Amino acid sequence: MIKQKLRIKEQKLRRKQRVRARIFGTENRPRLNVKRSNTGIYAQLIDDDAGKTMVSVNMKEIKQSGTKKEASTVLGELLAKKALEKNIKQAVFDRAENKYHGRVAAFAEAARKGGLKI
């Protein structure tokens, strides 16, 4: 059991390093970082050149009704709306150690639907 948990942690670390090595955010096209936990999802648009967060959203900003996947969809649309208000139209998607599946995929699709080009 312990070996299996270590193997999963190592896989997540390798996946995170592999994804992050290819992605870099600029002012015109910031990095859309997504953190998924058991209770919610957190996302932010980051300008790596300046080292600052331009837009951020989390589950506390919305009234959660339904499943976590539905809440992720609402959160993706909210992020796209906030980004468009700040005149950000494109982003580079950074899923970190998460697989592009389930809540992470629902979030990304909702951000695209909201007008953000990923």
Render pLDDT for 41-87 as a digit per residue (tens, 0 to 9).
999 999 999 999 999 999 988 887 789 999 999 999 999 999 999 99
| Tens of pLDDT, residues 7-54 | 888 988 888 888 878 888 888 999 999 999 998 899 999 999 999 999
Q: Tell me which architecture the domain covering 2-113 has in CATH.
A: 2-Layer Sandwich (3.30)
> Tokens at residue 50, please?
């300046």
Alpha helices in 1-118 (DSSP H): 2-22, 68-85, 103-113
Q: Domain residue spans in the chain?
A: 2-113
pTM of the model: 0.86
Calculate the CA 80 to chain-centre distance: 12
Distance between CA atoms of residues 46 and 31, nearest Å:
5
